[in-house]
Structure 1
Amino acid sequence: MENYRKSAHCTYDIKYHLVWITKYRKPVITGQIALRTRELIRIICQSNEVEILAGHVGSDHIHLLVSVPPHLSASKLVQYIKGNTSRKLQMEYKELNKQFWGQHLWARGYFVASSGNVTDEIIKEYIKNQDLQERSNSDNFEIGER
């Protein structure tokens, strides 16, 4: 319960591991650009109520472990981060424009995996033991008898 976050009508613990790379895997996120990238990601996450639990800015990729509110999907968060950082970094660092034509700093796509304290097996066991009534053995989406 200590890691749970709360909103007005919800208690949650949703964590994502996110990874994305620069276009052509070019190692351009270094020095001042790396510092600015980290700063921009922090600002975007803060404005969307996303807590950064861990992060790494590599020269050609970004790793984040974030705690996200339930109203924000992983795809929307990545869209916000990649879109805003690409636009602002290319406006502020003109040397990036020479390497990335067409306003695309990041490659298409990303990796996402959910993370949590409970394994799939524990959740399945919890659901299975909800109502210890007569059940059909062939179905794993059961209706409890009242």
Structure 2
Amino acid sequence: MSEFIHKSHNVTVLIYHLVLPAKYRRAVVDAGVDRVITLTCTEIEKRYEIKFLEIGSDENHIHFLVQSVPMYSITKLVTIIKSLTAREVFKKCPHVKKQLWGGEFWSDGYFSSTVGKHGDETMLRKYVKSQGNNYEQLHSDHQLAIF
């Protein structure tokens, strides 16, 4: 379960859904790789301000539900997770390195999405409108309709 992270001048609850595909979308994720990734992620939690709320796997990609602090950008989170888990997978599961022709474990790309603790975008818009007495909407981003 996510928690509020208290720092000296801020309180945050930043949760991200990350999907990291294996290189070439190869089906290299098995029970051994799952175990290594899970153990590596618990070690990452001890050294970085990253908390893994959930880790799920498919045969060619891994889902991470991660909580972190604002000083870690999405790119930095992904870099930390990819580099440390790949190194450990190659070290403890050498058969995976052979399947990937001795190359990289993770694909260059990834999917990232923020996850709200207290609701979705619509709920947050209602909350903002309900604050104060004279709410005035100053900006709204709507996609333009062509034709």
Specify the TM-score bucket, using the shorter chain as the normaliser: 0.7 to 0.9
- Structure 1 residues 106, 132: closer, same or farther in 2, change over 3 A? same
1:81 CA displacement? 0.8
- Structure 1 residues 131, 62: closer, same or farther in 2, change over 3 A? same
The percentage of counterpart residues that share the same residue type is 28
1:124 CA displacement? 3.6
Moved more, 97-106 or 77-86: 97-106
- Structure 1 residues 129, 31: closer, same or farther in 2, change over 3 A? closer
**SS where residue 67 of structure 1 aligns?**
strand
CA distance in 2, matches of 1:119, 1:31: 34
**SS where residue 105 of structure 2 aligns?**
coil
TM-score by length of 1: 0.78
CA distance in 1, matches of 2:135, 2:123: 21
Alignment match, 2:47: 47
AA of the residue aligned to 2:139: N
Alignment match, 2:122: 121
AA of the residue aligned to 2:89: L
Question: Are the equivalent residues in 1 in contact too, given 2:18–2:63 (CA < 8 A)?
Answer: yes
Moved more, 78-87 or 42-51: 42-51
TM-score by length of 2: 0.77
CA distance in 2, matches of 1:47, 1:131: 42
- Structure 1 residues 32, 131: closer, same or farther in 2, change over 3 A? closer
Q: Rg larger in 1 or in 2?
A: 1
**SS where residue 122 of structure 2 aligns?**
helix
- Structure 1 residues 83, 3: closer, same or farther in 2, change over 3 A? closer
Alignment match, 1:144: none
Alignment match, 2:139: 140
**SS where residue 80 of structure 1 aligns?**
helix
1:4 CA displacement? 2.0
- Structure 1 residues 63, 134: closer, same or farther in 2, change over 3 A? closer
| Structure 1 vs Structure 2 CA RMSD | 2.5
CA deviation string 1:32-76 (max 9, x = no partner) = 222111111221233212222222133321111111111111211
The unaligned stretches of length 5 or more in structure 1 are: 142-146
Question: Are the equivalent residues in 1 in contact too, given 2:36–2:88 (CA < 8 A)?
Answer: no
Alignment match, 2:105: 105
The unaligned stretches of length 5 or more in structure 2 are: 141-147
